[in-house]
Amino acid sequence: MSNKYPQGKSYPKSQGNTETRSETALKKPVQKITQTRKNTVESPKSAQFFSAESSRLTDFSTPIYNMGVTTLDPRLQYDEFTFPRRLDNCKMVLTEKGNVPVLHSVPCDEYGIASHDWITFGFCQSTLGQEYYSLDPMTADSELTYGIETFLDHHLHEIFGFGLGEKRQNGMHNYKFAYELQDKMGMVLYGHSSRRISIQINGTGCALARKGWQVRLYQYLTSYQKFYDPQTGFLKETGPREPKLTRVDLAYDDFEGQYITVDQADEWDDVGGFWCGGRQPKIEKIGPWKRPNGKGRTFAVGDRSSGKYARFYERGKKEGSPLSPWVRAEVEFKSKDRYIPLDILLSPSQYFLGAYPCFEWLAKQLEKDFCTPEKTKVVKKQSEISWDKAIDVLKVQFGKYIRQFAKVLEPQVLINIISSDKDEVPKRLKFSHAAVMQSIRLNQHFETKPTSLEEMPLFVGKPLVNMSAYKEFVHAI
């Protein structure tokens, strides 16, 4: 896309003239026209990229993390060295129609094992400006579209080298509105009830983006800060609010089929190479396994709808080369049941090796076992249990024992015997913090056990308070 901001003029900000933006927002958004961007000269504005005022970082020569990499190629600061890619992201595959170039992503860390093949990240729409957090439903489309076109488009160009393309007629994934990125390299989704904006960069986008986009994206997502503005006397916020990675695909390409094959993956499963505890993962074989015909086979591990899913497939054969030995291994992480750290942008190889035990075996074959595997943390949602349900569980499981013990022991003695030595509230039990605080304010003790949830209103999300703590509060007033 051509540079729409002339040299010497400042970029538009979301905190611009409110009256002008409101008038513009009421008009029908103008359809953007996709153009080829000229990336040949370093813009003077790039030196101020991610500064304190514009939420851009200023130096790409050294990384701001400590994961083994100490220096980065300083030439990545200049577009002339990031474009063209010099075929490092392209593999020639011999098909019936001749040699065909096939795009693939390139590893970005020092280990050189895995690369990014899909990235989905998001942040709160207040990143465009605090006024975007709560919008009138009648003008939300125009307001958000204005912010996306004037603010987000510029940052996408600076990070990836491409920006917004055509606006879609409809959104998707519960987002009302959507923009295609240039050359179908991804999508921008907005207009969700959660007030979040989601950006998807597909495999083509990951392969064709400017070199070093992983570092720039990491720096942008971690650039949130607050600072005091002496001119206005208020605190200002810069950078993305509540950034989050929701999907990351990592891939390893074995162009010669020397280290991994689909048959090797099948053998790894036989010896527990994909077992990470609990139940054995689901295994699915796709394609002509019984009688291979050169069209390619796929070995899938896990459920596609789960938080982690792996697949091995014969990439060269899928592209039309019956004799190609090219095999690809992919791991798909989703934030459905796990936390995906932003560090995965900087060191994909470590998180790729940490996905399954068999990938650590692969690292030894590659003589890169010095690469420390990292795992994504699984977030387990613990089910809550009400007061009445807890009584029912206790009665069903231990009611008969308690009845027989009560025949020979006094009730208070029996309670003391079967009670826990620690006076703590069970984590799953919904204990009413609100009821305790209300009793403290009214100076009224509740010494009888509640018989229903109506007598013990819920206050989910507050710290649990046990009876001992409650008594200490009461006696303190």
> Per-residue DSSP letters for 85-154?
-TTTTEEEEEETTEEEEEE-----SSS-S-EEEEEEEEEEGGGG-GGGSS--TTTHHHHHHHHIIIIIHH
Q: Residue 403 and residue 399: Cα distance in Å, rounded? A: 6
Please confirm whether the linkage preceding 84 is cis (ω < 30° from 0). yes
Residue 121 pairs in a beta bridge with: 199, 245
Distances from the Cα of 421 to the Cαs of 85, 415, 418, in angstroms? 67, 11, 9
pLDDT above 70 for 470: no
Long-range pairs of 106-109 with CB within 8 A, sequence gap ≥ 24? 106/207, 107/348, 107/349, 108/212, 108/214, 108/215, 108/346, 108/348, 109/67, 109/68, 109/69, 109/346, 109/347, 109/348, 109/349, 109/350
For residue 202, give every residue at least 6 positions away whose Cβ sits within 8 Å of its Cβ, in sequence order, or none: 118, 184, 185, 186
Q: Residue 451 and residue 420: Cα distance in Å, rounded? A: 21
Residue 78 Cα to chain centre, angstroms: 29
Whether 333 and 307 have beta carbons less than 8 Å apart is answered as yes
How many Cα atoms within 13 Å fall on the side-chain side of residue 159?
24
**Band of pLDDT at residue 2, cut at 50, 70 and 90:** very low
pLDDT above 90 for 333: yes
**Band of pLDDT at residue 247, cut at 50, 70 and 90:** very high
- Say what the pLDDT of residue 442 is: 55
- In terms of C-beta density within 10 A (0-12 exposed, 13-18 middle, 19 or more buried), how is residue 124 classed? middle
The DSSP symbol for 444 reads -
Residue with tokens 């009845």: 403
- pLDDT winner (highest mean) among 150-164, 434-448, 452-466: 150-164
pLDDT above 90 for 120: yes
Phi-psi region of 278 (alpha: psi -120 to 50; beta: other; left: phi over 0): left
Interval 336-341 mean pLDDT: 91
